Structure 1
Amino acid sequence: MVVVPSLDLIVSWNDAKIRSAEMENHALNLLVEAAAGSESRGFGDRMAVMWEPMEWSIKVLTYSENPFDVPATVTFTHAGTGQERRTEMFYDGDDTWRLYFTGTRAGEWAFETSSNVPELNGRTGAVNVAANPNRNVKGFLTHVGNKYAIQVTDEADLQGYLFNAYMSRVKHPAFLDEFGADLEQVEAKATACLKHALANGFEIVFVHVNNNWFKFGVREHNKHDSENPDPAAFRVLETIIKTIHSAGGRVHIWAWGDESRRWTPRGVPGGINGRTERRLQRYIAARLGPLPGWTMGYGFDLHEWTNTEQLNSWAEYLHKHFGWQHLLCARGHLLEGPFNVNSYDGFGRNVALTTTAHGPADYEEIADDMDTDLTRPHLYEERHSYKREGFKLDMDGTRRLLWAETMAGGMGGFFGFYPDSPYPYPNPEQLRTHYRFWHTNGRFRLDMQRANHLGEGSYILAARSKECFIFYKENTQSIRMDLSGMPAAQPAVAVDTKKEYKEVKIGMLSATEHVWTTPYRSDWAIAVSGGD
């Protein structure tokens, strides 16, 4: 119902009344829209490239309930295939709702909104998605079996991925509030975080949120009384994600911490998975869900303050509301479902997923953990920080753990520094060599399997096609390679993993057995592949 009494305008929908000059103008605009017909409610057509997040906004003055609870959805439909992606709109303060979208297929995506709020209902538009000319920018992280997989040119083009998160709390922020609220400064700090990670051989930056979700600047649940997500906190987090992703990196988020510090949702109204946290989970799905470039763990010391049933409820609820799936994990607990990671505790605690105390003990333990579940990727989410007490994580131990996790089939890892860690790595070039060998050269393939029988004392990965092999052996002067199964001769290069990346050309190797004598004793890796 719309009533216009002389100079005092009152507009009412579903018993929601609005006043003021600004609202008068807004209401008159709505009348003009209604008179003009449905075309004026369209967003029009836009152009985008693959993996580029797009945004639309709507000003609304006619809601009566908590704006964070207003039901408003949008369905994107791909013209060529009929594929649909359904996500929710979100409230961003100042009477403004937004919707996000990222293209995963080339071509036209048409969309339409749906809501019981008239201004949010029936809005239409289209996005024409083209290939992304920047091949360094990739899409959403998923998995194939127990291997991580990254979307490359589109959602169907998958490439093997090595997941290794990096935390540098000595020099760079890790907690969300440490980035500050100035978005230009946030972007600069995020750029510096990624640059520092890459200098140490990693591309996944760690960000810890805690109760910043509800009130930016606050980590503890007993220091705020908010029941709604804080849009300011999300502006900071999405700026971090977008900045790092556009530069070729990724972000691993911890939603919560431990209860001893009050870094959990236990103290918010309704507690774990109660109405307040469910409101937050819907907001995460609506606001962060359409953005590529992030994964999320529930937090740490979960055995002290939550349980597997609650954690599965959290993951299930998020996946249900995601329009674009993201990998989730909960350290030490087994999450059901295809888009969840098996994340391991590192202290041998009485939980479902754990390494030996201060583990993993060796390559064999890593391989055994990978083999326990061939349907989901795996992650040692205990922070293997440099020289952490009780762990074998000096420079040799850190480097060798990174290679052992890879050669076991792609176990994920977590590295870096606590504020009191010895700093920096004395030989970061060793970790950069691992990154360049695998990431830069794209050598980790989804069809690779362990094939240690093809050598002697080596860890070996081989493609099912037998056209690609990786041999790795520590403290050695020679490497034996049984290449008798190759369909044809292939070129081979060797790399000393203890030095800055430099290829030693071995030459063409025929389909027979070879023994390569190294120039000197070290930890060597050999790549045999027509792609090198």
Structure 2
Amino acid sequence: MGTEGFNGIFFFVGGRWVDLNSSGAVFTNNDPDLEMFQILENLITKTHAAGGVVHFWYSGDCSRNQCVQAGFGTNGARSDGEKRLLRYIGARLSPLPGWIMGYGYDIVEDTTTTDLRGWGNYLRSKMGWNHLLSARDQSSSYGYSFWPEADWYSKGNFFNGATYTDVAGVFDSDTSTPHSFDERWWTSRINENDQRRLMWTTMMAGGVSAIWGSSGTAKADPYVDPNGFKTYFTFWEDRTMNDFVRDNSLSNGYAIRSSNSSNFIFYATDTTSIAYNISGAPQNLPVIAIDTKKSYSEINLGTKPAGSYTWIPPYISDWAISAGGFDGVVIAPPTPPKTPSGETLLITP
């Protein structure tokens, strides 16, 4: 979807649920804004038709009057006003495939687990079709306990990005549930080059999604160089497997392999060489390399028997090597129930 290859749009609603023209998404009215709901329906429908998913934030920062308490006096689906809003969301948006919703940002100061359970239970009871819901935790630990019933575990507190160790720690804290860094990792915080590298890092460390993008006033401007982002999605489209194991002992960069050692991915930045060890392979493997900074183009390294190798690229860059057939099949984790059109709502990296 789009020149960069991303499969979704992020949209913060906040006070706009009840006032389309709300300045700063401040809650100023208790009644659902019908014009706003029409806009949201159009956004979801058009994004889904283009092959994408919309990620909403429901509420915002109470210190800026963006939270539901500012409009309804309380949260957790305790007030008649918020219950009415949630019924509107259930009636008008839940029949539409192609959206997920996080509770918002800066919510831990004014929102408890009990509040989230009240909100989530009431909204889910009013939705005829399931959509993924979550709430961003701000704890410094890698584990998640803010809302145990969330459909994915959402981590904040990583304002300027995350390290490989951070991603691995979050992923390993609970491998039965999808994870996301729900900070806004935009170019105002992380430049294009570091965003692209961090996308590769999150995949090589286990597979954790995030909110990416470029900075803009009314809307996000295109990246200056979208090619590397598109290359990322093209590369992983048929190479994302549920049984990948981190094994950096196999390379001078990052390495992952399938559990049966039939498929390998290697990645290194600013490198003049990549060591790749496929000695555990049960058969000969096709091997290709790509420059992750440029438009997608494979360099055929041949078919290799099990063994340890070093490849010298033609120039210094951020390189990835794929070894294995991958059978052209993506092996995805278990997914939530499907929407009426048969689409499965799944967070992708």
Q: Say whether 1:502 aligns with 2:283.
A: no
CA RMSD of aligned residues (A): 2.4
Give the counterpart of 1:371 among 168, 172, 177: 172
Are 1:209 and 1:253, in contact at CA under 8 Å, matched by a contact in 2?
yes
* Larger Cα-atom Rg: 1
Mapped contact 1:472–1:525 kept (Cα < 8 A): yes
Q: Percent identity over the alignment?
A: 37
1:276 to 57, 64, 81: 81
Runs of 4+ aligned structure 1 residues displaced above 4 Å come to: 420-424
Q: Which residue of 1 aligns with 2:195?
A: 398
How far apart are the structure 2 equivalents of 1:221 and 1:423? Answer: 27
Answer yes or no: is the 8 Å Cα contact 1:289–1:326 preserved in 2: yes
2:99 to 294, 301, 311: 294
- Give secondary structure in 1 for the equivalent of 2:276: strand
Greater percentage in strand: 1
For residue 131 of structure 2, what is the aligned residue in structure 1?
Answer: 326
Give 1:295 shift: 1.0
**Alpha-carbon distance change, 422 to 316 in structure 1, aligned in 2, over 3 angstroms:** closer
Query: Shift of residue 220 of structure 1?
Result: 2.4
Matched, 1:529 2:332: no
The 2-side partners of 1:241 and 1:252 are apart by 9
Report the count of equivalent residues: 315
Amino acid at match of 2:191: D
Q: What CA distance in whole angstroms lies between the structure 1 residues aligned with 2:11 and 2:296?
A: 29
Q: Do structure 1's residue 452 and structure 2's residue 248 form an aligned pair?
A: yes
CA separation in 2, counterparts of 1:495 and 1:303?
A: 42
Match of 1:345, as an amino acid? Answer: G
TM-score (norm 1): 0.55
Q: Does 1:429 pair with 2:227?
A: yes
| Bigger relative contact order, structure 1 or 2 (CA pairs below 8 A, ≥6 apart) | 2
Partner AA of 1:254 in structure 2: W
Q: What does residue 235 of structure 1 align with?
A: 38
**CA shift in 2, pair 1:311/1:418, >3 Å:** farther
Give the superposition deviation at 1:508. Answer: 0.9
| Residue of structure 2 equivalent to 1:204 | 8
Residues 204 and 246 in structure 2, CA contact (< 8 A), matched pair in contact too:
yes
Does the CA-based 8 Å contact 1:270-1:276 persist in structure 2?
no
**Cα distance in structure 1, aligned partners of 2:97 and 2:207:** 21
Establish whether residue 245 from structure 1 lines up as the match of residue 48 from structure 2.
yes
CA distance in structure 2 between the partners assigned to 1:279 and 1:437 by the alignment: 45
| Structure 2 residue corresponding to 1:217, chosen from 17, 21, 36 | 21
Cα separation, partners in 2 of 1:490 and 1:321, compared to 1, 3 Å: farther
Q: Secondary structure at the match of 1:518?
A: coil
**Within 1, Cα distance between the matches of 2:72 and 2:161?**
38
Return the TM-score normalized by structure 2.
0.82
Equivalent AA in structure 1 for residue 160 of structure 2? H
Q: Secondary structure at the match of 2:261?
A: coil
**2:196 aligned partner, one-letter code:** R
Q: Secondary structure at the match of 1:199?
A: coil
Code of the residue aligned with 2:148 in structure 1: it is E
1:344 to 155, 161, 173: 155
- Look up the SS of the partner of 2:136 in the other structure: coil
Q: Deviations for 1:186-221, whole angstroms, at most 9, x for unmatched residues?
A: xxxxxxxx6xxx223422111222233234333322
Corresponding residue number in structure 2 for 1:492: 287
| Cα distance change on mapping 1:429 and 1:481 into 2, 3 Å | same
Tell me the residue number matched to 2:216: 419
Give per-residue Cα distances to partners, 1:116-147, cap 9 Å, x unaligned.
xxxxxxxxxxxxxxxxxxxxxxxxxxxxxxxx
Distance 1:335 1:341 in 2: 10
Q: Which sections of structure 2, spanning at least 5 residues, go unmatched? A: 139-145, 329-349
User: Where does the alignment leave 5 or more consecutive residues of structure 1 unmatched?
Assistant: 1-193, 347-354
Alignment of 1:25-424 (within 5 A): 198-218=2-22, 219-222=25-28, 224-226=29-31, 229-269=32-72, 271-272=74-75, 273=77, 274-332=79-137, 334-337=146-149, 340-346=151-157, 355=158, 358-360=160-162, 362-388=163-189, 393-419=190-216
Q: Deviations over 1:246-298 (max 9, x none)?
A: 11111111112222332221133452122221222233223322322111111
Task: Give 1:82's aligned residue.
Answer: none
What amino acid is aligned across from residue 85 of structure 2 in structure 1?
A: L
